[in-house]
Amino acid sequence: MAATNVEVWQRGEIIEIVDIAHDIKRIVIRQSSTATADPGSHVDVMITVDDELVRRSYSIVEQSADRRDLTLGVFLVPNSRGGSIAMHKLSVGDQLDITQPLLNFPLRVGADKYVLVAGGIGITALVAMADVLKRIGADYTLMYAARSKEAMAFRVGLEKLHGERLQLFCDDENSFIDIPELVARLTGDTELYMCGPIRLMDAIRREWVDSNMEYTNLRYETFGVSGWFDPEEFIVRIPAKGVEVVVGQQHSMLEALESAGVDMLSDCRKGECGLCEVRVTSLTGRIDHRDVFYSEHEKNANYKISCCVSRIVTSETGLNEHADVMAGPAIVEIVTT
């Protein structure tokens, strides 16, 4: 069965764990089914963090020929909410609940040209796509940016397979993707697929929109773990329900509200669908919008939050070094929709 968006849970067993790059492990899970992982698929896994089961998403890099084994690449995220730390502590033989492969980042075959842009561990969402594009003889370029070559998972295999179609960009070599130049040289029939940190994807999205490129030709996958600011503990209140919850660094606002018994809507839990939206009525601090659902205009209005990924921070952290210093944690008051 081809990967879909329909969730079917199954058991998975860890059969291989290998360090493959700085802070990145290749983890192979044997699924109990033989469900197909199409390019762009991911699995959701249930993993224990602080004695609680939490759900995390990981792209499927590769599926074995018999469809039993799914390869993931898991980065030990700085300021992790705990999921990647727990994944890195897994051992061969461990069992966990995983979904069958889910697909909400499909590759559309048939475009004249493709550009795939990966930032860091975002490469995991694009490896299988690049492989298919190579096999069908498509005109494609794979651009892979990271801190250093040592931080590039799967680099050696990609170099062998894609040759000059692979372009590497390393911060420590002062080599960066020139986004205005990239978008300026694309023709209207090019499809661009990207996965990486929010800053990279946001910069490409802005350039794409400013260049009047066809928006449906820009496709992305995000797991909502990267933001503009380091995660902090903050307080969320729902005055109408008498709810006040502390959102720890390792949890999302959505998880904290659910744990407090608040009925919440959600679907993707990755900042893509907007279903978990809450409306802000009062704010001390600022919103770190980590979703790709709202427009720039909506984000600047600071009125709505995708609470599965976005966070609240005090003003002294992150990018705004000139902002006022707050004494305690940031506080947001919301109404749920």
Which spans of this chain sit near ligand FES (rule: CB under 6 A)? 266-269, 271-276, 291, 293, 306, 308
Helix axes 155-162, 127-135, angle to 10 degrees: 20
Nearest distance from residue 268's CB to ligand FES, in Å? 4
Interstrand relation of 62-63 and 69-75 (parallel, antiparallel or unpaired): antiparallel
Residues whose CB is less than 8 angstroms from the CB of residue 214 and which lie 6 or more positions away in sequence, other chains included: 188
Q: Quick one: 81 or 269, whose CB is closer to ligand FES?
A: 269
Compute the least distance from the CB of residue 312 to ligand FES, in Å. Answer: 15
Would you say 44 or 272 has its CB closer to ligand FES? 272
Q: How far is the CB of 183 from ligand FES (least distance, A)?
A: 26
Closest approach of ligand FES to the CB of residue 269, in Å: 5
What is the Cα–Cα distance from 10 to 100, expressed in whole angstroms? 7
Residue 116's closest CA among 221, 192, 9? 192
Q: Roughly how many angstroms between the first and final C-alpha of the chain, as a whole number? A: 36
Alpha-carbon span 230 to 313, nearest angstrom = 8
Q: How far is the CB of 330 from ligand FES (least distance, A)?
A: 20
Angle among Cα 310, 314, 316 to the nearest 5 degrees reads 125
Residues with Cβ within 8 Å of residue 132, at least 6 apart in sequence:
39, 107, 109
Minimum Å gap between C-beta 265 and ligand FES is: 8
- 269 versus 289: smaller Cβ distance to ligand FES: 269
Q: Rank residues 28 and 125 by Cβ distance to ligand FES and give the closer one.
A: 125
CB of 22 to ligand FES, least distance (A): 30
Closest residue by Cα to residue 155 from 38, 14, 22: 22
Of 154 and 293, the one with the shorter C-beta distance to ligand FES is 293
Q: What is the nearest approach in angstroms of ligand FES to the Cβ of residue 290?
A: 10
Q: Record the tokens describing residue 126, joined without a space.
A: 């694009």
Comparing CB distances to ligand FES, the nearer of 262 and 275 is: 275
Residue 265, helix vs strand vs coil: coil
Pairing assessment for the beta strands 69-75 and 286-288 based on DSSP bridges? unpaired
Closer to ligand FES by Cβ: residue 55 or 185: 55
Q: Which is nearer to ligand FES, 183 or 278 (CB)?
A: 278
Distance CA 101, CA 34 (A): 10
Hey, what's the torsion of the CAs at 25, 35, 107, 117, to 10 degrees? 0
- C-alpha–C-alpha distance, residues 321 and 315, integer Å: 8
